[in-house]
Amino acid sequence: MTANKTNDVSASSPVGVFDSGVGGLTVLRELTRILPCEDFIYYGDVKNAPYGALSHDEIRRRSLEIAGELIGMGAKAIVVACNTATAAAVEAMRAAYPQIPIIGTEPAVKPAADAGHRHILVLATPVTVAEERFSALIHSRCGTAEVIAVPCPGLATMIEEGHTSDELICKYLDGIFAPLRGKFDAVVLGCTHYPLARVAISRAAGGDIPVYDGAAGTARQAARRISGSGLGAPGDKHGSVRFLSSGDAGKIGAFYEGICHEA
């Protein structure tokens, strides 16, 4: 990624979005739906993926570097389209770059609790469930609902590699859900990769169990923060999306085309 040095932003500046790979595209898709006039720069850090297998400090270091580069490229806001990077690094990013809004992605436990579910299963990376931010979210947003947090090592990588509905992922998911049968009434997808395998996850969960993810909520929060800072793109503009990566940016762009057509 080549950054320019200016920090000046205006309404026509782009919004930076990043994840370890293709997972954050589920958030980008919602962002482009509700902010069609904005330009987005999406960065997929595939060379350092999966974040769920890195240490807290490694995730923080990468997140700060990527945010710095996106800001150097003129980003007027950053959307951390990754639950793991949000859990480990969003506070450090906000402290390091107080000049622009930095919006995180959190597991959608609040919508699930607000809908009246009493036993909420959260699937997320091992890092996300181990972070204090995740425990704080549950304590502050779930009232008396029980939250069962299930770390899913390897699941994001499987999805990144295209296993979204085949035998490999179905077996993995059966292994996750088998000991939990009858113990939950909602599932929260606490990793932005997981909605890409929503059909398989929903089937493994039992079919009629509601499944929540944080993409739309994150996009709405980003829209509020961008317009709240007076930086919303002019309404007569047609927004664009540009893909960058520490690996193959073309692959990420092609993946995005695919999920937009599917939707």
Applying CB under 6 A, the site for ligand DGL has a residue count of 16
Report the C-alpha gap between 43 and 66 in whole angstroms.
8
Q: Segment near ligand DGL (CB under 6 A), from 28-36, 48-56, 94-102, 241-249?
A: 48-56
Q: Where are the beta strands (DSSP E) in the chain?
A: 15-19, 40-44, 77-80, 102-103, 119-124, 146-151, 186-189, 211-213, 241-245
Smallest gap from residue 246 Cβ to ligand DGL (A): 12
Residue choice 73, 108, 158, 191 for contact with ligand DGL (CB under 6 A): 191
**Does residue 83 bind ligand DGL (CB under 6 A)?**
yes
Residue choice 32, 164, 192, 245 for contact with ligand DGL (CB under 6 A): 192
C-alpha distance from residue 114 to each of 102, 146, 186, 217 (Å):
25, 13, 12, 14
**Does residue 196 bind ligand DGL (CB under 6 A)?**
no
Smallest gap from residue 234 Cβ to ligand DGL (A): 31
Report the C-alpha gap between 83 and 250 in whole angstroms.
24
**Does residue 50 bind ligand DGL (CB under 6 A)?**
yes
Chain positions contacting ligand DGL, by CB under 6 A = 19-20, 23, 49-52, 82-84, 125, 128, 156, 191-193
